[in-house]
């Protein structure tokens, strides 16, 4: 890699956020990447474009000639246990982790490279995506052994519910107050009343985070592991849909494919549509259509 290049989405995200800490992290990123390349004896290529909003990710080769990927990310609370999750899955349904390193505000991962690496969303329509994603999830969900580091899903939901309360106070016309209260009450209670043992979740699984990796194989990348209700893991795929004109039917289909309770998936989708709806107005009719009667 002759010159340091930023992925466009990462540069735009830091510019948009205007956080002094992230500006400093970005200014130090070339030196951080160079140090990691020395640590793991890597030859790096230019980063993948347009990339993501929180990490610099590029193809690499090590001294043994292995095809790898170096991911150098800004540490954030949602993705804090990405490395631990990948270790727990051990390459079964998720990309293989070879090494990781955490320092200050940086979290670095050395990953196996997926070939051809094409995102699921570029290869299949949504009906086929549903089948692939639910099949992957059923293989990834498991109860981790004692001593695991994973946080309960309720912790993430509480943080997002608190953000909703602040956003809704500034935009009270986004939702009817009764609907807003019902949504947030469910968003806080659903992760706590899951009837079965908590499972290791991906939480950010959608067609852009599933890559082709050989004949008839797909691998998950960029997980944000939490421990909790598997029904939650269907949500991000639905929220990334091209359209959600009949959210109840979509929730029912995914629940059936995943072997989960359809009514519970509907409740989760309603609560999440409320939680996201202040910032994403297109989700307001989704919430209204799914509101418990």
Task: Name the residues annotated as catalytic.
Answer: 204
SS (H, E, C) 219-277: EECCCCCEEECHHHHHHHHHHCCCCCCCHHHHHHHHHHHHCCCHHHHHHHHHHHHHHHH
Q: 207: how many CB neighbours lie within 10 A of its CB?
A: 22
Residue 147, token pair as written in the block: 């001593």
Backbone torsions φ then ψ of 114, nearest 5 degrees = -85, 130
**HSE toward the beta carbon, residue 9, CA cutoff 13 A:** 12
Rounded to 5°, the CA angle 113-152-241 comes to: 55
Task: Compute and round to an integer the Cα radius of gyration of the chain.
Answer: 20
Whether residue 222 contacts residue 77, with contact meaning beta carbons closer than 8 Å, is answered with no
Tell me the C-alpha distance between 247 and 121, whole Å. Answer: 19
107 pairs with which residues across the strands?
Answer: 73, 102
CA 163 – CA 53 distance, rounded (Å): 20
Bridge partners of 61, per DSSP, are: 43, 67
Are residues 7 and 49 in contact, defined by beta-carbon separation less than 8 angstroms?
A: yes
């Amino acid at each position: 890699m002759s010159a340091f290049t930023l992925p466009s989405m990462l540069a735009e995200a830091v510019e948009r956020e205007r956080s002094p800490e992230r500006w400093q992290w970005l200014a130090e990123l070339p030196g951080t990447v160079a140090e990691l390349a020395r640590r793991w004896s890597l030859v790096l290529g230019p980063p993948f474009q347009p990339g993501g909003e929180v990490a610099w990710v590029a193809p690499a080769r090590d001294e043994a000639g292995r095809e790898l990927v170096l991911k150098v990310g800004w540490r954030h609370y949602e993705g804090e246990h990405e490395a631990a999750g990948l270790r727990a899955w051990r390459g079964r349904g998720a990309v293989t982790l070879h090494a990781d390193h955490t320092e200050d505000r940086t979290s670095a991962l050395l990953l196996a490279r997926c070939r051809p690496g094409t995102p699921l969303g570029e290869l299949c329509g949504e009906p086929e995506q549903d089948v692939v994603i639910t099949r992957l999830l059923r293989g990834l969900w498991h109860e981790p052994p004692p001593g695991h580091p994973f946080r309960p899903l309720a912790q993430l939901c509480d943080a997002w519910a608190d953000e909703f309360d602040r956003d809704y106070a500034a935009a009270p016309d986004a939702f009817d107050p009764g609907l807003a209260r019902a949504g947030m009450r469910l968003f806080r209670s659903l992760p706590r009343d899951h009837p079965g043992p908590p499972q290791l979740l991906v939480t950010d699984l959608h067609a852009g985070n599933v890559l082709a990796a050989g004949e008839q194989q797909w691998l998950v990348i960029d997980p944000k592991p939490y421990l909790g209700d598997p029904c939650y893991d269907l949500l991000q795929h639905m929220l990334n849909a091209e359209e959600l004109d009949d959210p109840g039917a979509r929730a029912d289909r995914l629940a059936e494919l995943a072997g989960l309770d359809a009514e519970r998936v509907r409740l989760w989708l309603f609560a999440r549509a409320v939680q996201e709806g202040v910032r994403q107005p297109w989700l307001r009719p989704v919430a209204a259509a799914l509101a418990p009667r």
